[in-house]
């Protein structure tokens, strides 16, 4: 939507009030977004423009901007509709134009919406609008309401007596009250503040044990209910196990409505009291309950998506093992374990299937195949999937290697989403001749080398770090997860000559189409020797180059800065820095001592400020450095393979696989993650589990309980004594 100058100023004012950002930050961020700049690009290379806003703040501006545009479009539609009906007033126009919430606009529009055939419409058709007006005026203090209604009795219009006429007029008044924006706002506020979310079990499930058992007879203040409980109850309702409702402060609400409707003493007081009760029970309450349930669902979705995105970020930014030759193993019992060797760049070399867990006669051959692959391809690390037979295979590999004096790192790697990748179009493109399970073994090996590079090929929802991910708004979830992947990819940077098109597609300004064009060009013309060579790729124009170049790396390229995060637009500046130091550019890039000698203030100008200059110097000190943490491995106990092997009080090492609002799940090597409840995360009060642990973190835990039948494990970090 193209905004007018007036709308733009209104937007800036709105965002400033909701975010506490400065006017120039909001204005210039919006301008950059409208010009097609991506969030990572703005955060990294336009710090002076935004006053050093980070990605979270920029995305907030982006979201507010989108909301405002939708709101303005809706206002335009509503104003046009009311004007066409000839019912617009200056006061109504002003209220609509000044509205800042979609619900407020819809409340104001409600009286003018085309309605289905309601009781009020039928009453108007029977000529009862004048009677409704007389009652609403409340000017009569003598006589009775029945006497007033007698003149409207008409058996031909299905109005046989005064009571039926009064009832019809009451329907008109009830609808008017329901359509009153201020009345609805009052009901919404009181219900939201004091309402109680109530859950009851469906009669057919009363005697059954289900996963929703704790909600069979449950209630909690609507405004306080946490995300995971709201989503759990809604899932129970969706599966017809639970009935949900909101218990509102009915007496207080009806008293408020009466004070709005009953203006003075008149013969219609009792009639108007019944109108209030009917309007609230039949029209307002059901509508507001639907709104508040959707609103609370929206809040729960936001929280759950926030948990998912934090976990995904930690997983994507997990430390890489780096350029090691890896043997990936997709373990299995009956179908065997698939072994796949890859070189230091992730290139597939060879695969074989072994059966070390079925029959003694197959073990020698399995050992022979394993050792041959390790020896022939000079394997440096072994990655074993943590699924079925994972622990058994891990121990088999360690024992086999130890028997010949080899002591390679054997690492358990999460298989989450590997099967999804194996059957995906990307996997078929990469390995059209290979079996699904072999593709899985290759992916497991590559996950050890570079988790980010491999996980971007999998739908984030399949990675298994979410909470009620199938119950939340899927469009909102996809947008948030895509944003996290984009952020992580650009934070780390991408090797232009080795990255898959899937990884390249998340680079700022690229996308799937250009990513495939880049890889096609690379396959046909060979490796890129400079960032500038990207401009030779079909349809890769100057705008895409501006957005993408700084996030792409070329090792041993023509230009020393092509393997750094320094943007090409600043190459001339860095060359000037080198000249001022009387050294070559190559020397400056390779010597952090020289970079430390640069006087930043000397290079401040209208086009570049200290924030950008500081980033440049930090990059010169460590060009091409991977910002992720140092690689570490978790050590599972060889004698603990199944839940039945666990004993209370055991102290074990594990890795956090998922962080939720109520705690964290930890893989301790028994095919079933254990739960560390929020109360056992630390020796202090923990409000948010993410403040205590992160997905992918290696932790020491104490076993509190283990139930093999129900597959439940309770763990404690607090009581592990470390």
Q: Tens digits of per-residue pLDDT, 103-123?
A: 999 999 999 988 888 999 999
Quick check: helix, strand or coil at residue 41?
helix
**Residues in the chain, overall count:** 722
552-553 vs 337-342, strand pairing mode: unpaired
Are the C-beta atoms of residues 275 and 174 closer than 8 Å to each other?
A: yes
Query: In which band, very low, low, confident or very high, does the pLDDT at 611 lie, cut at 50, 70 and 90?
Result: very high
- The Cα–Cα gap between 500 and 484 comes to 18
Query: In which band, very low, low, confident or very high, does the pLDDT at 722 lie, cut at 50, 70 and 90?
Result: low
Residue-wise pLDDT tens digits, 305-318: 998 999 899 889 98
Task: Compute how many other C-beta atoms are within 10 angstroms of the C-beta atom of residue 645.
Answer: 15
Quick check: helix, strand or coil at residue 287?
helix
User: pLDDT at position 1, please?
Assistant: 58
Give the bridge partners for 382, in sequence order: 327, 410
194: buried, middle or exposed (CB in 10 Å: 19+, 13-18, 0-12)?
A: middle
CA 11 to chain centre: 25
Q: Which residue has the tokens 């490796």?
A: 527
- The Cα–Cα gap between 229 and 240 comes to 16
pLDDT higher than threshold 80 for residue 147: yes
User: pLDDT at position 202, please?
Assistant: 95
- The Cα–Cα gap between 433 and 495 comes to 26
pLDDT higher than threshold 90 for residue 418: no
Q: Which residue has the tokens 């006429």?
A: 165
Positions of E strands within 644-683: 651-660, 663-667, 674-677
Q: How far is CA 505 from CA 432, 510, 575, 606, 609, in A?
A: 21, 6, 31, 33, 30
Four-residue CA torsion sign, 291, 292, 294, 298: positive
Which residues are within 8 A (CB) of 386 and not within 5 positions of it... i.e. 6 or more apart? 412, 413, 414, 415, 667, 669, 671
Query: In which band, very low, low, confident or very high, does the pLDDT at 12 lie, cut at 50, 70 and 90?
Result: confident
Residue-wise pLDDT tens digits, 515-524: 999 999 999 9
User: Residue 384: what are its φ and ψ, rounded to 5°?
Assistant: -115, 125
Question: What is the fold of 119-308?
Answer: Tex N-terminal region-like (1.10.3500)
Are the C-beta atoms of residues 165 and 145 closer than 8 Å to each other?
A: no
User: pLDDT at position 563, please?
Assistant: 93
Where exactly are the structural domains of the chain?
A: 5-112, 119-308, 326-449, 643-720
- The Cα–Cα gap between 565 and 493 comes to 8
Query: In which band, very low, low, confident or very high, does the pLDDT at 386 lie, cut at 50, 70 and 90?
Result: confident
Are the C-beta atoms of residues 585 and 574 closer than 8 Å to each other?
A: yes
Q: What is the DSSP letter of 320?
A: P
Give the bridge partners for 712, in sequence order: 707
Residue 490 parent element (H or E) = helix 474-492
Q: Give the chain's largest Cα–Cα span.
A: 109
Q: What is the average per-residue pLDDT within 628-649?
A: 87
Four-residue CA torsion sign, 456, 458, 460, 465: negative
Are the C-beta atoms of residues 248 and 284 closer than 8 Å to each other?
A: no
For residue 217, which of 194, 243, 238, 193 has the smallest C-alpha distance?
Answer: 243
Q: What is the average per-residue pLDDT within 507-512?
A: 95
164: buried, middle or exposed (CB in 10 Å: 19+, 13-18, 0-12)?
A: buried
Q: What is the average per-residue pLDDT within 226-249?
A: 94
User: Residue 648: what are its φ and ψ, rounded to 5°?
Assistant: -60, 145
Residue-wise pLDDT tens digits, 57-100: 999 999 998 898 899 899 999 999 999 999 999 999 999 999 98
326-449 has CATH 3.30.2350.10 classification: no
pLDDT higher than threshold 90 for residue 175: yes
Topology alike, domains 119-308 and 326-449: no
Q: How far is CA 522 from CA 457, 525, 549, 565, 594, in A?
A: 19, 5, 16, 21, 35
pLDDT higher than threshold 80 for residue 543: yes
643-720 has CATH 2.30.33.40 classification: no
129: buried, middle or exposed (CB in 10 Å: 19+, 13-18, 0-12)?
A: middle
For residue 696, which of 289, 341, 411 has the smallest C-alpha distance?
Answer: 411
Query: Which of 4-8, 437-441, 452-456 bottoms out in mean pLDDT, i.e. has the lowest?
Result: 4-8
Q: What is the average per-residue pLDDT within 263-288?
A: 95
Q: How far is CA 202 from CA 239, 246, 494, 522, in A?
A: 10, 16, 53, 61
Query: In which band, very low, low, confident or very high, does the pLDDT at 671 lie, cut at 50, 70 and 90?
Result: confident
Question: What is the fold of 5-112?
Answer: Arc Repressor Mutant, subunit A (1.10.10)
Query: In which band, very low, low, confident or very high, does the pLDDT at 623 lie, cut at 50, 70 and 90?
Result: confident
């Amino acid at each position: 939507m193209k905004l007018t100058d007036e709308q733009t100023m209104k937007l800036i004012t709105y965002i400033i009030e909701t975010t506490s950002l400065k006017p120039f930050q909001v204005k210039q961020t919006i301008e950059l977004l409208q010009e097609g700049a991506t969030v990572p690009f703005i955060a990294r290379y336009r710090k002076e423009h935004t006053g050093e806003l980070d990605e979270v703040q920029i995305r907030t501006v982006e979201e507010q901007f989108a909301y405002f545009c939708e709101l303005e479009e809706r206002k335009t539609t509503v104003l046009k509709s009311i004007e066409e009906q000839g019912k617009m007033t200056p006061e109504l126009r002003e209220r609509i134009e000044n509205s800042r919430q979609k619900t407020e606009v819809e409340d104001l529009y409600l009286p003018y919406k085309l309605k289905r055939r309601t009781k009020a419409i039928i009453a108007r058709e029977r000529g009862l609008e004048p009677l409704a007006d007389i009652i609403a005026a409340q000017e009569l203090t003598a006589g009775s309401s029945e006497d007033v209604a007698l003149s409207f009795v008409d058996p031909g219009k299905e109005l046989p007596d005064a009571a039926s006429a009064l009832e019809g007029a009451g329907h008109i008044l009830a609808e008017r009250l329901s359509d009153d924006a201020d009345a609805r706002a009052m009901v919404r506020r009181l219900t939201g503040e004091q309402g109680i979310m109530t859950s009851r079990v469906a009669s057919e499930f009363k005697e059954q044990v289900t996963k929703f058992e704790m909600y069979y007879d449950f209630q909690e203040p609507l405004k306080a209910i946490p995300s995971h409980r709201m989503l759990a109850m809604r899932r129970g309702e969706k599966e017809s196990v639970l009935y949900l409702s909101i218990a509102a402060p009915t007496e207080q609400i009806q008293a408020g409505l009466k004070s709005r409707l009953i203006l003075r003493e008149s013969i219609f007081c009792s009639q108007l009291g019944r109108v209030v009760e009917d309007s609230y029970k039949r029209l307002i309450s059901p509508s507001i309950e639907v709104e508040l349930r959707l609103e609370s669902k929206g809040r729960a979705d936001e929280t759950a998506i926030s948990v998912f995105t934090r976990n995904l970020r930690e997983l994507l930014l997990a430390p890489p093992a780096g350029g090691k030759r890896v043997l990936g193993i997709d373990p299995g019992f009956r179908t065997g374990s698939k072994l796949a060797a890859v070189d230091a760049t992730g290139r597939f070399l060879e695969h074989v299937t072994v059966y070390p867990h079925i029959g003694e006669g197959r073990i020698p051959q399995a050992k022979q195949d394993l050792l041959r692959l390790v020896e022939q391809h000079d394997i440096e690390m072994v990655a074993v999937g943590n699924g079925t037979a994972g622990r058994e295979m891990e121990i088999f590999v360690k024992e086999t290697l130890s028997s010949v004096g080899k002591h390679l790192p054997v690492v358990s790697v999460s298989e989450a989403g590997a099967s999804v990748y194996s059957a995906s179009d990307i996997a078929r493109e990469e390995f059209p001749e290979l079996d699904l399970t072999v593709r899985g073994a290759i992916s497991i090996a590559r996950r050890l080398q570079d988790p980010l590079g491999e996980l971007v090929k999998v739908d984030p929802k399949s990675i298994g770090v979410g909470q009620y991910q199938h119950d939340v708004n899927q469009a909102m979830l996809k947008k948030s997860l895509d944003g996290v992947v984009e952020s992580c990819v650009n934070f780390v940077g991408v090797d232009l000559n080795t990255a898959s098109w899937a990884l390249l597609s998340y680079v700022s300004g690229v996308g799937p189409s250009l990513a495939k064009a880049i890889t096609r060009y690379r396959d046909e013309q060979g490796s890129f020797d400079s960032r500038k060579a990207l401009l030779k790729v079909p349809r890769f124009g100057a705008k895409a180059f501006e957005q993408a170049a700084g996030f792409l790396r070329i090792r041993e390229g023509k230009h020393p800065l092509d393997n750094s995060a320094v943007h090409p637009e600043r190459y001339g500046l860095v060359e000037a820095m080198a000249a001022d130091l009387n050294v070559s550019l190559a020397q400056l890039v390779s010597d952090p001592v020289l970079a430390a000698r640069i006087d930043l203030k000397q290079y401040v100008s209208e086009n570049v400020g200290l924030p950008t200059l500081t980033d440049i110097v930090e990059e010169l000190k460590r060009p091409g450095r991977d910002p992720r943490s140092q690689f570490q491995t978790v050590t599972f106990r060889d004698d603990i393979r199944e839940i039945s092997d666990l004993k209370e009080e055991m102290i074990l090492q594990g890795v956090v696989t998922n962080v939720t609002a109520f705690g964290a799940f930890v893989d301790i090597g028994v095919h079933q993650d254990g739960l560390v409840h929020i109360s056992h995360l630390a020796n202090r009060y923990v409000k948010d589990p993410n403040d205590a642990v992160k997905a992918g973190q290696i932790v020491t835990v104490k076993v509190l309980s283990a139930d093999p039948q129900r597959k439940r494990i309770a763990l404690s970090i607090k009581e592990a004594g470390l």
